[in-house]
Every structure is written in C-alpha cells, then in structure tokens.
Amino acid sequence: MFLFHILWFLLIGLAAGWLAGKFTRGGGFGLVGNLVVGVIGAVLGGLVIRLIGFSANGTIAELITATGGAVLFLYLLGWYRKKRQ
C-alpha cells in the first residue's frame, strides 16, 4: 500500500509539473524536470494549503494543490534568479 501512495504522489507530481510548465512558460520541462517541479510543488502546495487551514482530499484537489505549488515554486525560482542578477 505504501508503494502505491508513493507512485500516486509521483504521478500527481508529474502531471502538476507538466501543467505548471504550460501555465508559466508555455511548455514542459521534460519527464524528469516535470517530476522534480511537480514533487516540489506538491510539497510546497500542501504546506501552503495547510497553513491557511484547508486540506486537499481527492484526486482533483491533490492535482490542483500540487499544480498551484509548482507554479508558486517556479515563480519563486524566477524571482530568485532575477534578484541574483
């Protein structure tokens, strides 16, 4: 059962990373890039959602949360890159 949850988390992360790539720059980041962005986004999105007092229950809510977190992650990454230049 634990393996199923890990695989599900990675699948949601992959989809979220792909969606975030479409929203932020019009394209994906490749399989590994989408997975990394999506997984970081899922963790960040889950943290933000919990901090404001909500929870993501269900597949659609998990995907929305992970995608929102991935978009936020990409925004913060872009902001950090601009600030360093």
Distance between CA atoms of 12 and 6, rounded to whole angstroms? 10
Q: Which residues contact 44 (CB under 8 A, 6 or more apart)?
A: 69, 70, 72, 73
Q: What is the DSSP letter of 52?
A: T
Determine the pLDDT at residue 27: 67
Alpha-helical segments (H) within 1-85: 2-25, 30-51, 59-84
Q: Print pLDDT tens along the chain (85 aa).
A: 889 999 999 999 999 999 998 888 766 778 888 889 999 999 999 999 999 999 889 999 999 999 999 999 999 988 898 888 8
Determine the pLDDT at residue 29: 79
Q: What is the DSSP letter of 28?
A: -
- Phi and psi torsions of 54, nearest 5°: -115, 175
Determine the pLDDT at residue 26: 63
Determine the pLDDT at residue 15: 93
Query: Distance of alpha carbon 51 from its chain centroid, rounded?
Result: 16
